[in-house]
Amino acid sequence: MPPTITAFERSLDCGKGLARDMRVRWAFEEVGQPYNVRLLSFKAMKEPGHLTLHPFGQIPTYEEGDLTLFESAAIVFQIAEHHAGLLPDNANARARTIAWMFAALATVEPPIVERGMATLLERDKPWYAERLAVLDNQVRVRLGELSRRFGDADWLDRAFSAADLMMVHVLLRLKSSGLLDEYSNVSAYVARGEARPAYKRAFAAQLAVFTAASTS
Ligand code: GTB
């Protein structure tokens, strides 16, 4: 029986692939592992049945046999540990990959999410322009650091890994902001991630859910 993940019945991002089930779908596609998806309404996500799987009432979750997981990175790591293709065999390279996964979530994602939330919730406030400038600069700090670190490398630590999957997905949230375009090697990195056949399959699968929900 393939693992089952959860995703939004109707994604808030209108099928742009920015919701966090996309990371998990992409990981499954990279390793060639089939998976099932259970779609949830916002109401169902907060009901007791789902809260037993996810204490915060969010997506994605992962169920396989008697194992249930939440947190997209933990799920991607589980997939990477059990299938070849997303973690290097060498112990040190593996440790560095895990460090980059943490960096994507703990160091790079927070200012990007904070900026995204401000554009959603504070757009009509008198302080918005000033606050956005501050948040843009916080994001630029991280993009500049990543850009310096990358130089002309293709991936974070030689070969594509679960760390790149997480980092590219985190950075994709900036696509409509124009900020990525200020760092040509970082935007080329994101484009390399998006060009992967596994990314394209995962993107098409989540878009099909949004399209079906919009036409029903
Ligand atoms: N840290 C958790 C993880 O990585 O799994 C965060 C999970 C999470 O935030 N899930 C969101 C959720 O369930 C879905 S991705 N939210 C409902 C809730 O908290 O009640 C959310 C999302 C939507 C749209 C964009 N976007 O457009 O950029 C990005 C993320």
Per-residue model confidence (pLDDT) at position 12: 87
Residue ranges of the chain that CATH labels 1.20.1050.10: 91-196
Interval between CA 129 and ligand 1 midpoint (Å): 25
Pull the structure tokens for residue 142: 């991280």
Q: How many residues in the chain?
A: 216
| High-pLDDT (> 90) share of the chain, % | 98
What residue owns the CA closest to ligand 1's atom 23? 19
Interval between CA 58 and ligand 1 midpoint (Å): 7
Mean pLDDT of all residues in 76-104? 98
Is 203 a residue whose pLDDT tops 90? yes
Residue ranges of the chain that CATH labels 3.40.30.10: 4-85+198-215
What residue owns the CA closest to ligand 1's atom 21? 19
Question: CA dist 92 to 103, 105, 149, Å?
Answer: 16, 20, 19
Q: Indicate whether residue 22 lines ligand 1 (CB < 6 A).
A: no
Per-residue model confidence (pLDDT) at position 172: 98
Interval between CA 91 and ligand 1 midpoint (Å): 32
Q: Cα–Cα–Cα angle for 177, 183, 185, nearest 5°?
A: 125
Q: Indicate whether residue 13 lines ligand 1 (CB < 6 A).
A: yes
Nearest to 164 by CA among 202, 191, 204: 191
List CB contacts of 103: < 8 A, sequence separation 6 or more: 163, 167
Q: Indicate whether residue 15 lines ligand 1 (CB < 6 A).
A: no
Q: Cα–Cα–Cα angle for 114, 117, 119, nearest 5°?
A: 110
Determine if the pTM surpasses 0.85: yes
Residue 67: beta bridge partners?
64
Q: Indicate whether residue 116 lines ligand 1 (CB < 6 A).
A: yes
pLDDT digits (tens, 9 = 90+) for 124-172: 999 999 999 999 999 999 999 999 999 999 999 999 999 999 999 999 9
pLDDT digits (tens, 9 = 90+) for 25-70: 999 999 999 999 999 999 999 999 999 999 999 999 999 999 999 9
Q: Which pLDDT band, with edges at 50, 70 and 90, does 216 fall under?
A: confident
Q: Indicate whether residue 12 lines ligand 1 (CB < 6 A).
A: yes
What whole-number distance in Å separates Cα of residue 187 and Cα of residue 182? 8
What whole-number distance in Å separates Cα of residue 7 and Cα of residue 14? 13
Within 10 angstroms of residue 132's Cβ, the number of other Cβ atoms is 16
Q: Indicate whether residue 110 lines ligand 1 (CB < 6 A).
A: no
What are the DSSP calls for 139-177, one per residue? HHHHHHHHHHHHTT-SSTTSS--HHHHHHHHHHHTTGGG
Nearest to 173 by CA among 194, 147, 159, 202: 194
HEC-encoded secondary structure of 78-117: HHHHHCCCCCCCCHHHHHHHHHHHHHHHHHHHHHHHHHHH
Per-residue model confidence (pLDDT) at position 61: 98
Within 10 angstroms of residue 88's Cβ, the number of other Cβ atoms is 17
Per-residue model confidence (pLDDT) at position 158: 92
The atom number, within ligand 1, closest to the CA of 72 reads: 5
Per-residue model confidence (pLDDT) at position 215: 86
Fold of 91-196: Glutathione S-transferase Yfyf (Class Pi); Chain A, domain 2 (1.20.1050)
Interval between CA 8 and ligand 1 midpoint (Å): 9
Please, are residues 135 and 173 in contact by the beta-carbon 8 Å criterion?
no
Q: What is the CATH number of domain 4-85+198-215?
A: 3.40.30.10
What whole-number distance in Å separates Cα of residue 141 and Cα of residue 135? 10
